[in-house]
Amino acid sequence: MRNLAIVGGGSWGTALAIVLAPRFARTTLWIFEPDLARQVHATRINDTYLPSFEIPSNVEVTSNLESALEAADVVLSVLPSHLVRAIYGEMLPFLRPSMLFVSATKGLENGTLLRMSEVIRQVIGRSFDPQVAAISGPTFAREVARLYPTALVVASPDAALSNAIQSAFSGPTLRLYTCSDTIGVEIGGAIKNVVAIGAGVLEGMGLGHNATAALITRGLAEMTRLAVAMGGQSSTLAGLAGLGDLVLTCTGGLSRNRNVGIELAKGRKLAEIIDSMQMVAEGVKTTNAARQLAERHGVDMPIVEQMHQILNLGLSPNEAVRRLMLRSLRQE
């Protein structure tokens, strides 16, 4: 595997281009906006999404999908969840059965409630049966771009595929572990964003560390219940893609989802918060899908329910906390 195509030029896609470029002879970074692609190509810095980090010289920046995918051995998608289906549809004429596909998107598709690897498999399946893996774990793009030590999980039921991606992506600052539980890895990566908005609400309300620790713990319980009900493994949620990512996103100042919660607690309207953000906070879109999945599988997810009430029905953060604290008492 000599050639890597990264589809999606936001902060995470750009950070992955920086850290993975030394591992491949040729890396292409596809950016949706032609003007931004030209600017990044000329300056070698993505000032819009990841300023101050120079992109290696062997990374070719383009807004042309055919050019980006030409000769690619590995296609790594780092797209917002709501764009994955459409962009893969545009990519389809340029894809080949020999390619390995890796999803780095943490979210669920609204409407279908599909995980991202399922969306990719469904779209590409119109032409051939693709080899699809997912990567997830506790990652802030800026820290990855700074070449700070980072650990991830690559998940696929196909051990040969996950081993190949592990070998290709791992290096001095990025360590990958393999896992066969794609369901657990993707559900953990999606639902932790919803819980992180709740953690931001607690922070914005000034409710202290006890409340945040309780939210993380009970949020992990909700994530695990849902993943297991969908066919995942509880042990996966105790690892990097579950607990690890949840702790980071609920406590780290670089978390977009946590910052949404902080602003909600200040009394700002959701639409105003979203309009002021340059990048997507996946938890906002994932909340509805998570709630519907919980209903479909008969899983109790009170934190997700209260976040749905805050984000979509105008429930006050104070009332949401009160409802969670006064739920019927039970065993842990």
pTM of the model: 0.95
**Residue 31 in contact with residue 9, Cβ under 8 Å?**
yes
* Domain boundaries 188-325, CATH class: mainly alpha
Where does the chain hold its CATH 1.10.1040.10 domain(s)? 188-325
217-224: average pLDDT: 98
192 is known as an active-site residue = yes
What is the tens place of the pLDDT at every residue in 137-176? Answer: 999 999 999 999 999 999 999 999 999 999 999 999 999 9
Task: Provide the pLDDT for residue 156.
Answer: 98
CA–CA gap between residue 50 and residue 42 (Å, rounded): 15
What is the tens place of the pLDDT at every residue in 299-323? Answer: 999 999 999 999 999 999 999 999 9
Catalytic residue of the set 192, 266, 269, 285: 192
What CATH number does the domain located at 3-180 have? 3.40.50.720
Where does the chain hold its CATH 3.40.50.720 domain(s)? 3-180
- 156: nearest Cα among 124, 180, 172, 173: 180
Residue 279 in this model has a pLDDT that exceeds 90: no
106-113: average pLDDT: 96
CA–CA gap between residue 177 and residue 135 (Å, rounded): 10
